[in-house]
């Protein structure tokens, strides 16, 4: 006689065991029809789950009460669609072995091992979708049945898929007391799969679905294990929602920094220069310069000293730092000294010998610097330091080079040469906490000024099971504690992530998503007890003894390239006045107004505003369209009426109607104010104020 507590606190009692669906029916038929699953004592279950004892029950419907997508419902739907897709794929490609098919945030995938002589091609999508359509139309019921561990494993073994046997073993290891299977229809008759569930009631609930793409993956995520094909798809409860989702994806593509970078001429990557090497156009350079001077001003306020260091350094420097051996594969190959090179070629030295000799230190050479720390360390170490000098804060826009895997390169967000807004702080152990907080507040200031609110903070800790970390565990503990304490002062939620630390120390990262939903690390602050040790750094304490300083690495933007890539997407290319490469464009109505237009342009320019003149032989409507497409903050139309009044007719980006007329002098100073205040005051506001 189960007593079932509903989310509103009311209790329903039943004489016998009932299914969640029956409970829903007892409340209302319409509700029951809208249900796809339920939460029993907080655990997501099938709607058909039979309830035998007292519990709390929350029904999961297609939409939440405020008509939004329900995360549980969507994940059940997509998981169910993955089953339908897997069945369809096995019909189209007999011999395809299923591995693992989970739902994701807005999609799902199924990892599948295809026969070597029959790989899946995207040309197969149509046939698979057609089969999926049939299965959906048949509206087959997802039917769960459980087997004992021994019977279940026997069944899996008899089916002959090592992947499913492995999944079964994983379930047992995770503590399952039985193995559950889901048949899409009738057990023993229809297609079925080992599965933990839960699923929507039947295939007919899948209103709209689409196979999106193919990718390769590795079994257990292990590069050296079996290579699998990952088939991505998505689904919704209705076709309409699917179409809306696909439209949104199309829209997102328009904000993609690679698309906008081309359209707005912000940067260029040239095959003949090299993969992942950014050529900054004049437009992009304006943005970069503005950001650099912004951060430069903040650094001065915070007591940093700016330095410059070369792009290369001796191999030995990186042996000492530990970077050369640790990251050998992801660095550009060393530059070998000429004399060595001649010697080596005369000796007929093989490539592998050469590589060995370099690793051992027998051959000296230079490396393109993969990071700036060793150079800054050497600067710090070039003079003795009293504890009274600390902290020493050395900052540099330092360009570094890393040999990223070719498949990893991505527009401006993953490149092979990039400039970090880097700094290294050398301080006493007592100063670590304050300095960390100073670094974090700098990152936060920058994010605030740019209106970037959609980020998460990750505290990267060491993975206790891994041996990749160097240094004393006691120091690691100290450093990790310092990071966690500093993060706690941020006033922003953060996550602790073991395994995300750098090899020399823990870090606090600011992570943002791009338009496709991929995450990128921007600002980073890292505590390091390790490199000071390796380089034997010291300062003289009050006791007149040598002490080891602690290093903090920090880069508020991360890299200029990645940050601006993300920033392009953040603003969808419509930069605020202070960053906009072209701030004002002057549009004369006809040649007759050219003289006045030239005058307007001159006045804007002499106020330090980045302004241009559109003297094309086009109508003003066309000039407005062109200017809008370039996302220029202000377009000013000038004609005889404006010349007469010594005024300009202003149009602001993103506002369909023009703002009206403003005296030229006033407009110039308003734009100049908006520029220097980074948007704290704006031309629009002045118009709004004038209108009141």
Partner RNA sequence: GCCGCUGUAGCUCAGUGGUAGAGCGCACCCUUGGUAAGGGUGAGGUCGAGAGUUCAAAUCUCUCUAGCGGCUCCA
Active site residues: 373, 402, 420, 422, 424, 507, 553
Q: Could you say which residues in the range 517-546 bind RNA, by CB under 7 A?
A: 517-518, 524, 526
- Does residue 639 bind RNA (CB under 7 A)? yes
The DSSP bridge partners found for residue 103 are 108
Among 409, 484, 572, 598, binds RNA (CB under 7 A): 409
**If binding is defined by CB under 7 A, does position 641 make contact with RNA?**
yes
Q: Cα separation of 653 and 632, whole Å?
A: 6
C-alpha span between 275 and 487 (Å, rounded) = 36
The burial of 654, by beta-carbon neighbours within 10 Å (0-12 exposed, 13-18 middle, 19 or more buried), is given as exposed
State which of residues 240, 262, 301, 546 lies at the interface with RNA (CB under 7 A): 262
Contact status: 240 vs RNA (CB under 7 A):
no
Tell me if 248 contacts RNA by CB under 7 A: no
**In terms of Cα–Cα distance, which of 643, 648, 589, 650 is closest to 616?**
589
Q: How far is the CB of 47 from RNA (least distance, A)?
A: 31
How far separated are the first and last CA of the chain, in Å rounded? 70
Is 273 a binder of RNA (CB under 7 A)? no
Indicate the Cα dihedral angle 320, 322, 327, 328, nearest 10°.
Answer: 40
Binding flags for RNA, 170-209, as an x/- string (CB under 7 A): ----------------------------------------
Give the shortest CB-424-to-RNA separation in angstroms.
11
619 touches RNA (CB under 7 A): yes
What would the x/- binding string for RNA be over residues 649 to 678, using CB under 7 A? x-x--x-xxx--x-----------------
- Give me the 483-512 binding string for RNA, x by CB under 7 A, dash otherwise: -------------------xx---------
Find the binder of RNA among 11, 215, 488, 680 (CB under 7 A).
215
CA distances from 216 to 222, 225, 248, 395, 558 (A): 12, 12, 25, 41, 29
- Please identify, among the stretches 143-151, 350-358, 365-373, 478-486, the one whose residues bind RNA according to the rule CB under 7 A: 365-373
Residue 223 touches RNA, criterion: CB under 7 A: yes
Q: Does 43 bind RNA (CB under 7 A)?
A: no
CA distance 198 to 48: 10
Rounded Cα gap, residues 401 and 472, in angstroms? 29
Starting at the earlier edge strand, list the strands of the sheet with 11-13.
11-13, 3-5, 55-61, 35-40, 43-46
Site for RNA in 379-408 (CB under 7 A): 402-408
131 binds RNA (CB under 7 A): no
Applying CB under 7 A, the site for RNA has a residue count of: 81
Nearest CB to RNA, comparing residues 273 and 602: 273
Indicate the SS3 state at residue 235.
strand
Say if residues 459 and 484 touch (Cβ distance below 8 Å). yes
The verdict on 562 binding RNA (CB under 7 A) reads no
Residue selected from 64, 213, 243, 677 as contacting RNA according to rule CB under 7 A:
213
Stretch that binds RNA, among 90-98, 486-494, 635-643, 682-690 (CB under 7 A): 635-643
Which of 275, 345, 350, 676 binds RNA (CB under 7 A)? It is 275
Residues 6+ apart with CB under 8 A from 411: 256, 257, 258, 261, 269, 565
Give the whole-angstrom CA distance, residue 479 versus residue 433: 10
For the segment 325-344, give every residue that binds RNA (CB under 7 A).
327, 330-331
Instruction: Yes or no: say if 387 and 393 are a contact pair by the CB < 8 Å rule.
Output: no
Shortest distance, CB of residue 327 to RNA, whole angstroms?
A: 4
Q: Does 606 bind RNA (CB under 7 A)?
A: no
Smallest gap from Cβ 618 to RNA, in A, equals 5
Q: Strand 227-236 to strand 208-218: parallel, antiparallel, or no bridges (unpaired)?
A: antiparallel
């Amino acid at each position: 006689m189960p007593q079932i507590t509903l989310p509103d606190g009311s209790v329903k009692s039943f004489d016998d065991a009932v299914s969640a669906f029956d409970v829903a029916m007892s409340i209302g038929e319409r509700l029951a029809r809208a249900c796809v699953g339920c939460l029993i004592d907080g655990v997501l279950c099938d709607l058909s789950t039979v309830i035998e004892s007292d519990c709390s029950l929350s029904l999961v419907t297609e939409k939440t009460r405020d008509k939004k997508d329900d995360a549980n419902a969507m994940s059940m739907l997509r998981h169910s669609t993955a089953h339908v897709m897997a069945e369809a794929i096995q019909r189209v490609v007999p011999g395809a072995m299923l591995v693992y098919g989970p739902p994701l945030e807005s999609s799902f995938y199924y990892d599948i091992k295809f026969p070597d002589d029959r790989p899946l091609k995207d040309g197969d999508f149509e046939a698979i979708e057609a089969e999926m359509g049939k299965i959906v139309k048949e509206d087959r019921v997802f039917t769960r049945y459980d087997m004992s561990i021994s019977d279940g494993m026997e069944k899996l073994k008899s089916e002959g898929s090592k992947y499913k046997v492995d999944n079964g073993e994983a379930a047992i290891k995770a503590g399952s007391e039985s193995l559950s299977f889901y048949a899409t229809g009738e057990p023993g008759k229809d297609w079925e799969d080992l599965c933990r569930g839960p699923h929507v009631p039947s295939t007919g609930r899948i209103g709209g679905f689409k196979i999106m793409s193919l990718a390769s993956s590795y079994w257990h995520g292990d590069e050296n294990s079996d290579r699998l094909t990952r088939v991505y798809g998505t689904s919704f409860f209705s076709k309409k929602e699917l179409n809306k989702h696909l439209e949104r994806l199309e829209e997102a593509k328009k904000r993609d920094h690679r698309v906008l970078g081309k359209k707005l001429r912000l940067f260029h990557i040239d095959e003949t220069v090299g993969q992942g090497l950014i050529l900054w156009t004049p437009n992009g350079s304006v943005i970069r310069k503005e950001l650099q001077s912004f951060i430069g001003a903040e650094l001065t306020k915070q007591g940093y000293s700016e330095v410059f260091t070369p792009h290369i350094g001796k191999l030995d420097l990186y042996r000492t730092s530990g970077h050369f051996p640790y990251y050998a594969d992801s660095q550009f190959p060393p530059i070998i000294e000429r004399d060595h090179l001649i010697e080596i070629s005369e000796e007929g030295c093989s490539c592998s010998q050469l590589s060995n000799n370099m690793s051992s230190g027998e051959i000296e050479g230079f490396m393109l610097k993969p990071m700036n720390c060793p150079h800054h360390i050497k600067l710090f170490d070039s003079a003795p330091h009293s504890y009274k000098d600390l902290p020493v804060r050395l900052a540099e826009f330092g360009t570094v080079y890393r040999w990223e895997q070719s498949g990893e390169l991505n527009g401006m967000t993953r490149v092979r040469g990039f400039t970090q807004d880097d700094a290294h702080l050398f301080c006493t152990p007592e100063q670590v906490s304050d300095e960390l907080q100073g670094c974090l507040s700098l990152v936060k200031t920058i994010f605030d000024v740019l209106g970037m609110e959609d980020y998460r903070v990750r505290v990267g800790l060491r993975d206790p099971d891994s041996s990749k970390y160097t240094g004393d565990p006691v120091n690691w503990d100290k450093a990790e504690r310092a990071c966690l304490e500093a993060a706690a002062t941020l006033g922003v939620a953060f996550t602790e992530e073991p395994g995300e630390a750098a090899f020399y120390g823990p870090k606090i990262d600011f992570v943002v998503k791009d338009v496709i939903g991929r995450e990128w690390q921007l600002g980073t602050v890292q505590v390091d007890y390790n490199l000071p040790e390796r380089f034997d750094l010291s300062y003289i304490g009050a006791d007149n003894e040598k002490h080891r300083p602690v290093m903090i690495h920090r880069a508020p933007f991360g890299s200029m390239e990645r940050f601006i890539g993300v920033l392009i997407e953040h603003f969808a290319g419509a930069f605020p006045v202070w960053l906009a490469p072209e701030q004002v464009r002057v549009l004369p109505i006809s040649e007759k107004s050219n003289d006045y237009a030239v005058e307007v342009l001159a006045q804007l320019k002499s106020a330090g505003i980045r302004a241009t003149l559109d003297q094309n032989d086009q109508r003003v409507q066309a000039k407005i369209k062109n200017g809008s497409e370039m996302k220029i903050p202000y377009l000013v139309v000038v004609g005889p009426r404006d010349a007469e009044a010594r005024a300009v007719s202003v149009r602001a980006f993103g506002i369909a109607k023009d703002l009206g007329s403003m005296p030229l002098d006033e407009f110039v100073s308003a734009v100049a104010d908006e520029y220097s205040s980074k948007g704290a005051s704006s031309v629009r506001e002045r118009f709004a104020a004038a209108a009141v």
